[in-house]
Amino acid sequence: MILAGAVVAADQLSKRVISSELRLGEVRSIVEGAFNLTHTLNRGAAFSLMADGSSSFKLGLLILVSVLASVVVLALLWRSRQESRVGRTGLAMILGGALGNLWDRISNGSVIDFLDFYFRSYHWPVFNLADAAIVLGALLVLYEIFFGEERRPARRGDAGRRPPERASPRAEP
């Protein structure tokens, strides 16, 4: 929960700094040809999905989905108290990111985005620290699902972790 709070705090602080230092639509080059700070407002979902459409319906739907996702992630965090640190870290990052963007949607009706990565004509949608935390958290959760402790083969000396071997039935000739 501390990590989720830290993600929300860092996200909100970064958005306040961007809002005070850059006018809406202003672009500041940080790494020429690769990275800009670009102050934008995202009225859609992550990475500007659903940016078009009825704003009152869309805003209500995005707030509802964010609240439901946060409740689900909180329940998963509560349930996984005794489990892997990697999985819990990922869930906390997802929760912090979801709450950071939810805060913006409720208070402003949109989310401030500013991280703008590109290469030549290939341009990633502008995003923020909350979005980055959600993506990194999801990657950690996926890592835990596919490569976590339960998926690793037991090592010698881990007799308490490996289920007892069963005798295989012998085939009669």
Q: Does 83 map to a domain?
A: yes
Q: Does 155 map to a domain?
A: no
Concerning whether 131 is annotated as a catalytic residue, the answer is yes
Instruction: Say what the pLDDT of residue 84 is.
Output: 82
Domain that holds residue 84: 2-148
| Mean of pLDDT over the chain | 84
Structure confidence at residue 60 as a pLDDT band (50, 70, 90): confident
Q: Does 161 map to a domain?
A: no
Q: Does 160 map to a domain?
A: no
Concerning whether 11 is annotated as a catalytic residue, the answer is no
| Candidates 11, 104, 113, 116; catalytic one | 113
pLDDT digit string, tens, across residues 6-36: 999 999 999 999 999 999 999 999 999 999 9
Q: Does 166 map to a domain?
A: no
Average pLDDT over residues 109-131: 94
One-letter-per-residue 3-state SS of the chain: CHHHHHHHHHHHHHHHHHHHHCCCCCEEEEECCCEEEEEEEECCCHHHCCCCCCHHHHHHHHHHHHHHHHHHHHHHHHHCCCCCHHHHHHHHHHHHHHHHHHHHHHHHCCEEEEEEEEECCEECCCECHHHHHHHHHHHHHHHHHHHCHHHCCCCCCCCCCCCCCCCCCCCCC
Count of structural domains within the chain = 1
